[in-house]
Structures are given as C-alpha cells and as structure tokens.
Amino acid sequence: MEEDRIKELISEVKSFRAETSEELEKFRIRFLGRKGEIAGLFARMKEIEPGARKQFGLLVNELKRKAEEKLAAKKPKAQKGTDASAAADLTLPGEPAQTGSLHPVTLVRNKIVSIFSRIGYTVSEGPEIEDDWHNFSALNFPADHPARDMQDTFFVAPESESEDAPLWSLRTHTSSVQVRMMETTPPPIRTISPGRVYRNEAVSARAHCFFHQVEGLYIDDGVSFADLKQTLLYFAREMFGGESEIRLRPSFFPFTEPSGEMDVSCFICGGKGCAVCKQTGWVEILGCGMVHPKVLGNCGIDPERYTGFAFGMGIERIAMLRYGVKDLRIFSENDIRFLAQFRGRS
Ligand code: PHE
C-alpha cells in the first residue's frame, strides 16, 4: 500500500540523526532532491485513484514538511560537526594581549621632567645638529681651547674649504638648547632640556657614542649658589628617596663659575659602602655651577643684573643605577627580553 510506505518514510525522517554535513546532504538528496522520494511520490499522484488521491496528497505533504523541518533543524549542528577545527572552543583560556613598555631611558627622563615640572621648570628642545656657536663658542669654549677636547665631537663635513665656512657638529650636550633659550627668552628662565647627545667615544660597557641628557637652567634676579644646592637636594630626594644626602665637589666647566660635581649618598646601601658606590657611600650624578657671566653676556642677558645656575646629567647613568644595569650598550640594542622587564612601570 502506498499509504503505509509513506508512513514508513515519515517515521524514517523523524528518527533520522545526522552527525556530519555529508550525511545531512545525503538525506536532503534522498528525500528532497529533484529525483528524490518526495518528487517521485508527487509524480505518481496522477496514477492514484481519484478517491484516494486527497489522502495520498496529504501524506506526501506531511512527509515533505517533516523532511524540511529536519533539514532546517539539523543544519547548524551538522555543520559544526565537520568544521570542528574552525569552531571556537569557548572553554579555552584567553590569549594574553601583548602590551608594549616604555624604554627605561624614557621612564627616567619622564621622572626627571616630572620632578622639575613641579617646581615650575618648562621643557625645552633644540636641534641635534648644532652650529659651533650654540654648542661651544657661546658657552665660553674659546676657539682652539683645550676645553673643547673634554667632549670628543663628531663634526659634520664643512660645506666648503673656506676658513669661515660654518662648522656644524652633532651636539655634545644639551647646553646648546639653553643657549637658544637665553637668546630668545628674557629672564626669569626656568627650563630643563632633555635630549640625545653625541660624543666620539669608543663604545664600551661604560661609554657610548650617543646617550641622553637632561640639563637645567635657572636665571633670575638674585639666584645664588644656595638656590642651586637646595634645588639639587630636592631633586636627589625626589629621585632617589627622601633620605638621600648630596655633596658637591669642585670641578671645571668653561660655562660655569664656580663649577661643581654632585654626588648623592648611595641609595643601594644607604651610604655604608657597596659595589654600586665602589665602597665610597657616594655616587656621582651630575655637573653643575653658576652660569659664567660671559655666557650670559654672549646670550644677550645683562650679567650685571642677572645671575643663574645650570646643571646637567646623563639619563643612562641614572637608569643604570636605578635598574642595576651593568652595560650601557643594552639600552640601544632593542633586546625585547630586556625591554619587557619594564612593562607596567611608569
Ligand atoms: N654640559 C655639561 C656636560 O655635558 C654638564 C653641565 C651642565 C655642567 C650645566 C654644568 C652645568 O658634561
């Protein structure tokens, strides 16, 4: 009987379970395909006696509906079954996002800038290729004076053979920026100049042909050496801890008079003596002094009226002390294992 066969097909459709999309596709072709069971049944419609035709039609329609429902319900699951590798496993732990980190030189620079910003210093910048005036002459380095040998200089090839062709060099210190500030800004001036500087030195664990400095300058009526000392003490305590002490040793720079070098009590051993301070209890941090009257005059500031102080420090040196780095070269090697250690620091 046709009717029984259709009922059988209906129950077969109901119990059908597909695991893969191939099985589902076979099911679709077998029942709903152009030459499938259902198409075949419809084709036979006209052979059925008119009396039984209605019942036959109803059953075939039911079979068709059931087959379509099955196909629609199974589709997503069967698809997932075959593409297991592409499907997301929501139970897996997330992959950590890789964040970058600030370079230790940037971290120390930012800290120095923040310390001086709090007492009213602005930040000034200038060119890295500098003329002789701003890097040397204005700063009271006389031509051919041995003081120019203090900082081995990378000179830029002169533009012509002529005697008075301008002499360009890579700046050896950011004091050049301070000259530019003094030339363009009437006092009071309170500024720090962070930046990269270059010196013609053999690269080793303790010296590099380029490094970073922060230099500071304060010019106003009645600025004294006592102001310099107090400012440096404030800086040392903010930078290295509230217990820090400083001491000044006499030194020489052509652009300051008197000149000094500042040591800070060793913040590793607290002054008792250790490897970092070479058992002395002190570490050398910066050069400083009162701006030479000739320098003020060179930059258009009246030395009879104004006085000022200046100081300069190497950022890498402070970063080495702070982070226990023994070789200066690592700061410019871009070794991700080194840099990743500074993640999350500010
Ligand atoms: N310009 C000096 C240097 O590069 C540092 C310094 C700055 C010293 C200001 C005294 C005053 O070594």
Measured by CA distance, the residue closest to atom 10 of ligand 1 is 288
Using the mean position of ligand 1's atoms as its centre, give its distance from the Cα of residue 288 in Å: 6
Ligand 1: nearest atom to the Cα of 309:
11
| Domains of the chain and any CATH numbers | 2-86 (no CATH), 104-342 (3.30.930.10)
pLDDT at 163 over 90: no
Give residue-wise pLDDT tens across range 287-308. 999 999 999 999 999 999 999 9
The pLDDT tens digits for 209-235 are 999 999 999 999 999 999 999 999 999
Pocket test for ligand 1, best of 140, 150, 151, 173 (most atoms within 8 A of CB): 173
Out of 134, 196, 199, 255, mutate this one to test ligand 1's pocket (max ligand atoms within 8 Å of CB): namely 255
Q: Does any ligand 1 atom lie closer than 6 A to the CB of residue 256?
A: yes
Residue 272 alpha carbon to ligand 1 centre in Å: 29
Is the CB of residue 287 below 6 angstroms from any atom belonging to ligand 1? yes
Query: Is the Cβ atom of 312 under 6 angstroms away from ligand 1?
Result: yes
Mean residue pLDDT of the chain comes to 90
Which two three-digit tokens encode residue 207? 């010296």
Which of 17-21, 143-147, 328-332 is modeled with the greatest confidence?
A: 328-332
Dist. CA 104–CA 322, nearest whole Å: 10
Select from 179, 212, 252, 253 the residue to mutate for testing ligand 1; criterion: most ligand atoms less than 8 Å from CB. Answer: 253
Judged against a pLDDT cut of 80, whether residue 85 lies above it is answered with no
Closest CA to 41 of 15, 67, 70, 80: 67
CA distances from 342 to 94, 100, 105 (A): 23, 9, 11
Mean pLDDT of 35-46: 88
d(CA 312, CA 237): 17
Helix (H) or strand (E) holding 165: none
Indicate yes or no: pTM above 0.75.
no
